[in-house]
Chain A
Amino acid sequence: MKSSIFSFIITILAWDLAAAEDKNEKENTNQTNNSSRYEAVVRIENSSLNPDYRSPWNTGRDSGGNGTGWLVGENKFLTNAHVVSNSRIIYIKKVGDAKPYRAKIVHIAHDCDLAMLELEDPSAFEGVPPFDIGKLPQLDTTVKVIGYPIGGERISITSGVVSRIDFLSYSHTSVDLHLTIQIDAAINPGNSGGPVIQNGKVVGVAFQGYSGNIAQNTGYMIPTPVIRRFLKDVEDDNYDHYVDLSMSDFPLINPAQRKALGLANDGIGIMVAAAEEDGSAGGILKTGDVLLAIDGRPVKSNGLINYEGEDVNMNEIVERKFAGDVIKLKIWRQNKSIDTKVTLKRFLPYLIAAKKYDEKPRYIMFSGLVFQPLDRNLMAAHVMKNLQVRYHFDSYVSADIYKDRPEVIVLTSILPDSINSYFSNFKHSIVDEVNGVKVKTLKDVHNALAKDKDDYIIISLLGNGRPIVIQRAKVEAAQKRIQEKYNVIKDHYLGD
């Protein structure tokens, strides 16, 4: 399911080429003057620079694509984060105006796939009224999608009904789940970021869908609670991200499970499987606790609560809160009901599995060995079958690896040279220690390698008793040689 959404987004970013090819295929004879209504819907063209995790010293690969955006306030355009990710230059185009206007990102929220742009010179949109934001639409009501999808250059409108309201994964990062609305209006590459309209108000932002060979007429939009939260979050001119309870829960369906935990058979309560120690609920919730209510709303045994008349995921309560907000929990522990409070915060370790954007890859190149911190982008760039690497990536949160090693440093590649000619077997190993110093961050590697007191540099690797041994005396010449040979402009980047 995730991969199909992913492929859809791939098409969004690559649609320019396709569009150029079938430009002449269709002719639109039905030109009307209605288009002034759509002045607040803009085409966004993004030139991006995608980082190269395989040769992290390089600037990256130029790419580009386009999407849709809409005016949400004075010189404030809303679009998807994925439309303007890894951006170098952004242009906005207005209906009936051939001129591209240079825009820049004011806020970008990858965790909910939204971004706010502004024009360098807003005069072109003077007098254009921004859209109002509506409510959560009802099931089986009609909506219109406006945007600049594949299949032509000009603005496109499709319509459909609200098919489903659910709590789903946002494929832009692939680790964040939020409220999502499924509609059956055609949403195609290029629609991303565009408004979904009902009764003249924006009720959603089109953002992802399935490719036609997976499911038909299945488009998704970001609903207004998520949009409003984003707008509220950035009011202080800073995006603070979503917060999370950072716990896993298990439905209490089995009668014996309910009885053992001392619960009545009333369909209320969900079991806490685990709460991340460093997360909001860490130290408050324990395995085997039962969550009975969240902010006064009873939690059903399948994890749903009633909210504004709808059954929604209990996390919907947390979704609308901000860092530092407090929520009330009623829990059941050892046959007693306990009222407790949780102060919400972010839980960063989960980001290891997130697709990341707008970040310059960090690395160290030493004697031809390239060290990089493990994350999803790294896994995507290198095909790493090493069991330790896969285990650390997979279990970084669940096995509390993040506490021991905030960063897992992987020897991702080797630039062949006489100094490392017997090292090829060590590729894709995790660095355990450098000269006896346990490696917890990329910086640790840098510092340990820089120490110039021993004759040998010993790099021990997880799951391999045979360390890498490098003679210190050979390093300087090799480093120079390798940087020249392989055009490694800078031999490390540790971050800002």
Chain B
Amino acid sequence: MTKFFILLSAFGISVSLWSEKLEAASVDKSVIRVNTTMQSYNLIQPWEKGASSTRIGLGAVLPGGKVLVTAQMVTDATYIELEKPDTAAKTTAQVITVDYEANLALLKPINDNDFLSDRLPFELDTNLSPKDKVEAWQFEASGTPVTTQITVSKAEVRQSFIDTARFLQIQANGPVQYRSGSFTLPIAKNNKLAGLLISYSSKDQISNILPASIIEHFLKDTADGKYTGFPNLGIMYSQTLDEQFRNYLKLDQENGGVFVSKVIEGASAAAASIKSGDVILSINGKGIDSRGNYNDPVWGKLSFSHLVRGKAFTGDSMKIKILREGQKKEIDLELIRRPAEDYLIDPYMFDRGPKFSIIGGLVFQELSVPFLKLFGNDWQSRAPIKMLMAHASPEMYEKKGRRKLVILTRTIPTPVTLGYERLSTLIVTKINSVPINDIQDVDKAASMPANGQHRIEFDSYPKLIFLDAVLAAQVNAALEQRIGITKRLK
């Protein structure tokens, strides 16, 4: 309840701005075209960017001269334009806040602060429920508004943009014709913003909608100017449907419960000393069934992760009832968030160049999921097994003090790397006797050659190689001429 009031006060100014107009949102006045040019870094040649591409979508105008779009719309954006559909007036915009996990971003004109003053900002409607009729709002190329009615069917907690981040999504049925430039569509209910349409299957005529409740959470978080992000519990769990298993755990028939199979270091559950082997019975009094769902008053059965991610904020405390060794226990858990960049292997990497450092032609990088994905759609079977193991069980390396996993991604043939040309995708353990725990260590170690040689150690074949330090410095200087930079440490 308290959070609700905080929301109102944080929005106080914007709400009053809006209320002066006393006019409801409309397609032509509340939806704006967003044209982005995006260019991602080349992970194989991390010193350069790939080809640029453009994406056209629709944003929802919000109070305070801001525009809401999906994060997908602005990944690796180099140039963002807002365009009024009626007048085709344009201005350049920037990202104020982006959350790739929640798949939301907030934009604002760079210079022209009044650009949106003739628009009607949306109000949020977070009270969607099944069978609601909602509208997808878009434009013809000419700027003529088009609204399509679809019907809300159900809600589900599922992945939106980042593989590992699951959020509440609403499904709606009905045909939606995509008009030109409709990457993301605002969804309106009674002229209020009910969500953003993030994907549509023309075969099944099903729209997936990121609901206003998640948008509201995102906006609340941005209100103080410091964005924290959605909290994570940091556990892996399994269901407790098996009666033998339930008997063994001494779980009675009334309680459902999920079995904690792994606790991820650095997140909320670990901080509250929840252990692998515990059974989570309820969160804040809401019982969790043996499949891992709680009973939502509006949507029925929903994954309990929504109680954490969708409904709570970092810093909130939660009452978690667990069963540990047959004994019920109540745990007060303070929600924290382990930031994505804290993980041994970055789960995603946008808007920044990959960190790397070159020594004489050997290219060192920190392992990331985007790098693993270079091995193709079936990267989970094609990427080097050791790296996949590190991805599945980062604690093996984290225990040893590794912050990141530095790998030799490839070898540029140079006079220094003679005989090493085929070395690639090797996990680096030491350089010049310095243990390598992140890319900064590589840079540090690169300045400490012994007897005129760099000594580089790997955890697998060929284990040990040497480079001529003087020659390597010359090659680095030459590479700098050719490719611009030889390292990016931040």
Interface residues of A (CB under 8 A from B): 248, 250-257, 259-261, 271, 273-274, 287-288, 385, 387, 390-391, 394-395, 398, 419, 421-423, 425, 456, 458, 463-466, 469-471, 474
Q: Are B465's CB and A257's CB within 8 A?
A: yes
Q: Are B466's CB and A257's CB within 8 A?
A: yes
| Among candidates A273, A421, A465, residue contacting B464 with C-beta atoms closer than 8 Å | A273
Q: Are A287's CB and B388's CB within 8 A?
A: no
Interface residues of B in 229-268 (CB under 8 A from A): 236, 238, 241-242, 244-245, 247-248, 259-262
Given A465-B261, A465-B276, A466-B259, the answer on whether A255 and B468 have CB atoms closer than 8 Å is yes
- Once the chains are docked, how many angstroms separate the CA of A254 from the CA of B261? 48
Residues in B with CB closer than 8 Å to A463 are 392-393
Interface residues of B in 135-176 (CB under 8 A from A): none
Q: A261-B466, A287-B463 are in contact. List 15 more A-B contacts (CB 8 A).
A: A248-B462, A250-B465, A251-B419, A253-B419, A256-B453, A256-B466, A256-B468, A257-B465, A421-B242, A422-B245, A423-B242, A456-B244, A465-B260, A466-B259, A471-B244
Q: Are A260's CB and B242's CB within 8 A?
A: no
Tell me whether B343 is interfacial, beta carbon within 8 Å: no
| Among candidates A250, A419, A423, residue contacting B461 with C-beta atoms closer than 8 Å | A250
Interface residues of B in 463-479 (CB under 8 A from A): 463-468, 471
| Among candidates A250, A259, A273, A385, residue contacting B468 with C-beta atoms closer than 8 Å | A259
Tell me whether B108 is interfacial, beta carbon within 8 Å: no
Smallest distance from the beta carbon of B372 to chain A beta carbons, Å?
Answer: 12
| Among candidates A253, A387, A425, residue contacting B388 with C-beta atoms closer than 8 Å | A387
| Among candidates A254, A261, A394, residue contacting B419 with C-beta atoms closer than 8 Å | A254
Nearest 4 Cβ contacts at the A-B interface: A253-B419, A465-B261, A422-B242, A260-B466
Interface residues on B, range: 35 or more
- Once the chains are docked, how many angstroms separate the CA of A422 from the CA of B461? 42
Q: Are B463's CB and A254's CB within 8 A?
A: no
Q: Are A387's CB and B419's CB within 8 A?
A: no
Residues in B with CB closer than 8 Å to A391 are 385-386, 388-389
Q: Are A274's CB and B276's CB within 8 A?
A: no
Smallest distance from the beta carbon of B401 to chain A beta carbons, Å?
Answer: 20
Residues in A with CB closer than 8 Å to B388 are 387, 391
Given A385-B381, A474-B244, the answer on whether A254 and B392 have CB atoms closer than 8 Å is no
- Once the chains are docked, how many angstroms separate the CA of A182 from the CA of B244? 61
| Among candidates B259, B392, B455, B461, residue contacting A248 with C-beta atoms closer than 8 Å | B461
Interface residues of B (CB under 8 A from A): 236, 238, 241-242, 244-245, 247-248, 259-262, 276-277, 380-381, 385-386, 388-389, 392-393, 416-420, 451-455, 460-468, 471
Q: Are B464's CB and A287's CB within 8 A?
A: yes
| Among candidates B248, B460, B466, residue contacting A469 with C-beta atoms closer than 8 Å | B248
- Once the chains are docked, how many angstroms separate the CA of A322 from the CA of B393? 43
Residues in B with CB closer than 8 Å to A261 are 466
List 21 contacting pairs A-B, 8 Å CB cutoff, sorted by A. A253-B418, A254-B465, A255-B418, A256-B467, A257-B419, A257-B465, A257-B466, A260-B466, A273-B461, A288-B464, A390-B381, A391-B386, A398-B461, A456-B244, A463-B393, A465-B236, A465-B259, A465-B277, A470-B244, A471-B244, A471-B248
Residue of A nearest to B470 (CB): A256
Q: Are B419's CB and A271's CB within 8 A?
A: no
Q: Which of B248, B262, B418, B454 has the most CB of A within 10 A?
A: B248
Q: Are A466's CB and B244's CB within 8 A?
A: no
Q: Are A274's CB and B385's CB within 8 A?
A: no
Residue of A nearest to B460 (CB): A398
Given A288-B464, A387-B389, A463-B393, the answer on whether A256 and B244 have CB atoms closer than 8 Å is no
Residues in B with CB closer than 8 Å to A390 are 381, 385
Q: Are B245's CB and A271's CB within 8 A?
A: no
Residues in A with CB closer than 8 Å to B454 are 256
Given A288-B464, A395-B386, A463-B392, the answer on whether A259 and B242 have CB atoms closer than 8 Å is no
Q: Which of A250, A274, A464, A474 has the most CB of B within 10 A?
A: A250
Residues in B with CB closer than 8 Å to A385 are 380-381
Given A259-B453, A474-B244, the answer on whether A466 and B385 have CB atoms closer than 8 Å is no
Residues in B with CB closer than 8 Å to A387 are 380, 385, 388-389, 392
Given A387-B392, A469-B248, the answer on whether A422 and B463 have CB atoms closer than 8 Å is no
Given A251-B419, A465-B260, A466-B238, the answer on whether A256 and B471 have CB atoms closer than 8 Å is yes
Residues in A with CB closer than 8 Å to B461 are 248, 250, 273-274, 398
Residues in A with CB closer than 8 Å to B463 are 250, 273-274, 287-288
Q: Are B468's CB and A471's CB within 8 A?
A: no
- Once the chains are docked, how many angstroms separate the CA of A456 from the CA of B326? 15
Residue of A nearest to B239 (CB): A422
- Once the chains are docked, how many angstroms separate the CA of A398 from the CA of B426? 14
- Once the chains are docked, how many angstroms separate the CA of A390 from the CA of B386? 10
- Once the chains are docked, how many angstroms separate the CA of A419 from the CA of B247? 13
Q: Which of A254, A273, A385 has the most CB of B within 10 A?
A: A254
Given A260-B455, A465-B262, the answer on whether A254 and B420 have CB atoms closer than 8 Å is yes
Residues in A with CB closer than 8 Å to B453 are 256, 259-260
Residues in A with CB closer than 8 Å to B468 are 255-256, 259
Given A254-B420, A288-B464, A385-B381, the answer on whether A469 and B455 have CB atoms closer than 8 Å is no
Q: Are B261's CB and A395's CB within 8 A?
A: no
Residue of B nearest to A253 (CB): B419
Smallest distance from the beta carbon of A77 to chain B beta carbons, Å?
Answer: 41
Residues in B with CB closer than 8 Å to A425 are 238
- Once the chains are docked, how many angstroms separate the CA of A287 from the CA of B455? 13
Residues in A with CB closer than 8 Å to B245 are 422, 469
Smallest distance from the beta carbon of B198 to chain A beta carbons, Å?
Answer: 29
Q: Are A273's CB and B385's CB within 8 A?
A: no
Residue of B nearest to A250 (CB): B462
| Among candidates A256, A271, A470, residue contacting B416 with C-beta atoms closer than 8 Å | A256
Residue of A nearest to B241 (CB): A422
Residues in B with CB closer than 8 Å to A469 are 242, 244-245, 248
Smallest distance from the beta carbon of A68 to chain B beta carbons, Å?
Answer: 39
- Once the chains are docked, how many angstroms separate the CA of A395 from the CA of B385? 9
Residue of A nearest to B469 (CB): A256
Residues in A with CB closer than 8 Å to B242 are 421-423, 469
Residue of B nearest to A468 (CB): B245
- Once the chains are docked, how many angstroms separate the CA of A425 from the CA of B260? 16
Q: Which of A387, A395, A464 has the most CB of B within 10 A?
A: A387
Residue of B nearest to A252 (CB): B419
- Once the chains are docked, how many angstroms separate the CA of A251 from the CA of B419? 8
- Once the chains are docked, how many angstroms separate the CA of A252 from the CA of B466? 10
Smallest distance from the beta carbon of A45 to chain B beta carbons, Å?
Answer: 40
Smallest distance from the beta carbon of B362 to chain A beta carbons, Å?
Answer: 12
- Once the chains are docked, how many angstroms separate the CA of A425 from the CA of B276? 19
Q: Are B389's CB and A273's CB within 8 A?
A: no
Residue of B nearest to A398 (CB): B460
- Once the chains are docked, how many angstroms separate the CA of A102 from the CA of B454? 66
- Once the chains are docked, how many angstroms separate the CA of A415 from the CA of B488? 54
Residue of A nearest to B391 (CB): A387
- Once the chains are docked, how many angstroms separate the CA of A251 from the CA of B465? 11
Smallest distance from the beta carbon of B484 to chain A beta carbons, Å?
Answer: 26
- Once the chains are docked, how many angstroms separate the CA of A391 from the CA of B390? 11
- Once the chains are docked, how many angstroms separate the CA of A471 from the CA of B244? 6
Residue of A nearest to B246 (CB): A469
Residues in A with CB closer than 8 Å to B259 are 465-466
Smallest distance from the beta carbon of B481 to chain A beta carbons, Å?
Answer: 22
Residue of A nearest to B454 (CB): A256
Residue of A nearest to B457 (CB): A287
Smallest distance from the beta carbon of A248 to chain B beta carbons, Å?
Answer: 6
Residue of B nearest to A390 (CB): B385
Smallest distance from the beta carbon of A301 to chain B beta carbons, Å?
Answer: 9
- Once the chains are docked, how many angstroms separate the CA of A250 from the CA of B262? 40
Smallest distance from the beta carbon of B57 to chain A beta carbons, Å?
Answer: 36
Residue of A nearest to B263 (CB): A465
- Once the chains are docked, how many angstroms separate the CA of A465 from the CA of B275? 10
Residues in A with CB closer than 8 Å to B392 are 387, 463
Residues in B with CB closer than 8 Å to A250 are 461-463, 465
Residues in B with CB closer than 8 Å to A474 are 244
- Once the chains are docked, how many angstroms separate the CA of A259 from the CA of B449? 14
